[in-house]
Structure 1
């Protein structure tokens, strides 16, 4: 199977989709065109491989984009791990290779693999191509504002509870609360709210 220039071969288990040095969350996107008439079989394959990946440590969820003009009429699987090491446990696993071996007869032509790490993790929208990313200065500006407001808000709301607490424990509460809020509530909402500005060409 041919590969597009700059992409990572799909079926060779020795090639890593994730790369060393990715200390933060890793998001991987794989686009494939499926042979006509095999869509239902591929849908079952998707369900199985997602369930298999979800059992691996650090798995943070998966999304599936089905063929549409916005995806180039390809299926796109997007999955996330909390860091490079855990991503590699899945990428290099015998279980993943077993699933890939079942797939080859279903796909047409080339596959495209893309990856996002670092700040881009906070600005992920499943409906957008993974290579469509906000500029660094926009991401930095939004994160500075969000982090500042959340730190102030948490401190104000829980000020009475923080009285008498050790500064290290108090800081831990603020950091944990901030990260959870940003990951699951604030940043998904902010990213959608500012979508047109963030992803403007």
Structure 2
């Protein structure tokens, strides 16, 4: 099963080149949007003057991101951006909790408080574990404790990552963003 890829790119614009940097990044996004598997991109300006810009890029699959990464178009944009940017960009792929609560819900510079993320996580974990205990636990009762625990926790992890948290974090985004 293939899942969407979210990449955060951090980079500073040269002093006095902020407008040119933003215009080039937006033009690069427009060109990237023509690539298969491109989902969306967002430019988040720095919180303070001279700070780092964050670019959030979403692709349908890792292969789609790789297609963009290895393209001549991307290479051209990176060469053009050198004139208005400081240094090389820093990249980070999001996964796990970062992806659940990450840029799709809120800007990467303002994550929700951990206590809110904990409550939303519990709202997903409790019913998932309760249902699996009710239906699956009896089927595993004859297995040794460690094997039973490994199977059960793997089922919880898969259900949380692929079914529960993507939906729950979208449904609760209004509260997470407060």
Superposition TM-score tier, normalisation by shorter sequence: 0.5 to 0.7
Q: TM-score, normalised by structure 2?
A: 0.61
Give the counterpart of 1:79 among 57, 63, 71: 57
Deviations 1:146-175 (A, max 9, x none): 98xxxxxxxxxxxxxxxxxxxxxxxxxxxx
Give the deviation of 1:114 after TM superposition: 1.1
Cα distance between partner residues in 1 of 2:85 and 2:31: 20
Unaligned runs of 5+ in 1: 1-21, 148-178, 197-201
Per the alignment, residue 188 of structure 1 pairs with 170
Distance 1:113 1:129 in 2: 15
Structure 2 vs 1, CA of residues 68 and 194 (structure 1 numbering), >3 Å: closer, same or farther?
closer
Give yes or no for contact 1:29–1:130 (8 Å, CA) kept in 2: no
Per-residue deviation, residues 60-110 of structure 1 (Å, max 9, x unmatched): 2111111214x9711111111111111111111111111111111211245
Q: Quick one: distance in 1 between partners of 2:112 and 2:70?
A: 27
Cα 1:142/1:96, change in 2 over 3 Å? farther
Q: Which runs of 5+ in 2 are unaligned?
A: 129-162
Matches of 2:123 and 2:33 in 1, distance apart? 30
Judged with a 3 Å threshold, the aligned counterparts in structure 2 of structure 1 residues 93 and 36 are, in CA distance, closer, same or farther, namely same
- After TM superposition, where is structure 1 displaced by more than 6 Å over at least 4 residues in a row? 130-135
> 2:43 aligned with 1:64, yes or no?
yes
Q: How does 1:31-180 map to 2 (within 5 A)?
A: 31-69=10-48, 73-118=51-96, 120-125=98-103, 126-129=106-109, 138=118, 141-144=122-125
**CA 1:146 to 1:187, structure 2 compared with 1: closer, same or farther past 3 Å?**
farther
Contact kept in structure 1, 2:112 and 2:177, CA below 8 Å: no
Q: Distance in 2 between matches of 1:26 and 1:130?
A: 20
Distance, in Å, in 1 between the alignment partners of 2:38 and 2:51 is: 27
Distance of aligned partners of 1:47 and 1:30 in 2 relative to their CA distance in 1, 3 Å threshold: same
Count of matched residue pairs: 139
Measure, in 2, the Cα distance between the counterparts of 1:63 and 1:145: 34
TM-score, normalised relative to structure 1? 0.55
Deviation at 1:191, TM superposition (A): 3.5
Shift of 1:25: 1.3
Q: Name the Cα RMSD after superposition.
A: 3.6
